[in-house]
Structure 1
Amino acid sequence: MTTVPMVTAGAWEVLDGANLPDGFRVEITEGKIIMTPRGESRSDVLIEAAPQIKEQLAGQGKVLSDVMIDFPSGLWGYAPDLAIVAPGAERDKRGRFEWHSLEAVLEIISLSTRDDDFEKKLRMYAECAIPLYVIIDPSEDVCTVHSGPTRTGTYTEQEKIPFGEDLVLPLEGREIVVKTDGFPRAEGEG
């Protein structure tokens, strides 16, 4: 993982036009650009989960993967592994969705992203009132669903769903069921 301090107030502006290396995920946390190599288990989970979500949304919302989302602070710029955008959400003047358009965020963690996903992202997503934050952990074979966001940066409810059981995502007026039996276990990957 590489960390580079940002010199501008806007999270993504410093990266506009930058030639970024392939195979890395880029996000901005606390004003620092963070580049993390992508792991195979992350890719496998995305390949399993995204089509299931897209099919069940059936045009009532949108699923995104690794797409920049505008957050209320220029010090934060996340591109969630998977994000479910609410039906009827509109893009901002830069052509991006904003935090308040998200119904759910799913992050697949690795050893190198564990602290950010369990602490910094959890706090930011809760403060932004994103209804569901799901942490998918291949090293533990479990999905942790956080719901009931508070403005103080916590979620009031947490449920652990072991791989092999259905991951149920209760969205506004509907629910998505993701089969997790095909999720890989990442032994030693980070």
Structure 2
Amino acid sequence: MTTIVMDVASAWDALAGTNLPDGYRVEITEGKIIMTPQGRDQWKVILKAAPQIEQQLAGHGEILSDVMIDFPSSLYGYAPDLAIVAPGSELNSRGRFEWHSLEAVLEVVSKSTRDNDFDKKFRMYAECAIPLYVIIDPSDSTCTIHRNPTRTGVYVEQEQIIFGEDLVLPLEGREIVVKTDGFPRSEG
């Protein structure tokens, strides 16, 4: 990990012009650049979930995977495993969506991202009022749906479903249903 001093409008601006290695996921947490390889189980969940979501959005929103999102702090730059962008959202002057454009974020947990997904991202997404945060955990074969964020960094409601049950994403004025029976189950 490398610690950088952030004096930019977006955490991602610190990486402008940098050649990043292929096959690694890059995010910025508390001003630190964190690079982790994409795990096999993460990738399989994304491959199974993204087309289901995209088909049901049918032009009413957009699904992104590992795409830079601008957050209100220059110390955080997240590229969620999956992010659902609200219909009518526009890119900012940097060519990126901002946190307030997101209707839902889905993160797939791995050993290397566990603390970030359950702690730091949980707080940041709630503080940013992202309506829905889903943590998909192949190690215990569950999806945890967090709803009703507060500015104090918590989600008031939580629901857990096991792989094999439908993951229902209540979005503004519509509902997306993701079949989880094909999600991989991993050990540990």
TM-score by length of 2: 0.97
Which residue number in structure 2 is paired with residue 62 of structure 1?
62
Q: Cα distance, 1:21 vs. partner? A: 1.1
Secondary structure of the residue aligned to 1:144 is strand
Cα contact 1:9–1:75 (8 A) shared by 2: no
Q: 1:151 aligned to 2:171?
A: no
Which residue number in structure 1 is paired with residue 51 of structure 2?
51
Counterparts of residues 81-96 of structure 1 (less than 5 Å): 81-96=81-96
Q: Cα distance, 1:9 vs. partner? A: 2.4
Question: Following the alignment from structure 2 to structure 1, what is the Cα–Cα distance between the partners of residues 14 and 151?
Answer: 28
Cα contact 2:6–2:75 (8 A) shared by 1: no
Q: Cα distance, 1:160 vs. partner? A: 0.4
Measured against aligned partners, the alpha-carbon deviations of 1:30-62 in whole angstroms (never above 9, x if no partner) come to: 111101111000010010000000000000000
Q: 1:75 aligned to 2:93?
A: no
Question: Following the alignment from structure 2 to structure 1, what is the Cα–Cα distance between the partners of residues 122 and 6?
Answer: 24
Secondary structure of the residue aligned to 1:34 is strand
Residue number among 3, 7, 10 corresponding to 1:5 in the alignment: 3
Which residue number in structure 1 is paired with residue 141 of structure 2?
141
Q: Any gaps of 5 or more consecutive residues in structure 1?
A: none
Cα contact 2:91–2:98 (8 A) shared by 1: yes
Secondary structure of the residue aligned to 2:95 is coil
Question: Following the alignment from structure 2 to structure 1, what is the Cα–Cα distance between the partners of residues 126 and 104?
Answer: 11
Query: What amino acid is aligned across from residue 79 of structure 1 in structure 2?
Result: A
Measured against aligned partners, the alpha-carbon deviations of 1:96-124 in whole angstroms (never above 9, x if no partner) come to: 10000000000001011100000000000
Question: Following the alignment from structure 2 to structure 1, what is the Cα–Cα distance between the partners of residues 171 and 4?
Answer: 35
Instruction: Report percent identity of matched pairs.
Output: 74
Query: What amino acid is aligned across from residue 143 of structure 1 in structure 2?
Result: C
Which residue number in structure 1 is paired with residue 19 of structure 2?
19
Q: Any gaps of 5 or more consecutive residues in structure 2?
A: none
Q: Cα distance, 1:150 vs. partner? A: 0.1
Which residue number in structure 2 is paired with residue 104 of structure 1?
104
Which residue number in structure 1 is paired with residue 38 of structure 2?
38
Which residue number in structure 1 is paired with residue 175 of structure 2?
175
Query: What amino acid is aligned across from residue 4 of structure 2 in structure 1?
Result: M
TM-score by length of 1: 0.96
Supply the RMSD in Å over aligned alpha carbons: 0.8
Question: Following the alignment from structure 1 to structure 2, what is the Cα–Cα distance between the partners of residues 72 and 48?
Answer: 31
Which residue number in structure 1 is paired with residue 121 of structure 2?
121
Cα contact 2:131–2:147 (8 A) shared by 1: yes
Query: What amino acid is aligned across from residue 171 of structure 1 in structure 2?
Result: L
Secondary structure of the residue aligned to 2:145 is strand
Question: Following the alignment from structure 1 to structure 2, what is the Cα–Cα distance between the partners of residues 17 and 182?
Answer: 39
Secondary structure of the residue aligned to 1:169 is strand
Q: Cα distance, 1:22 vs. partner? A: 1.4
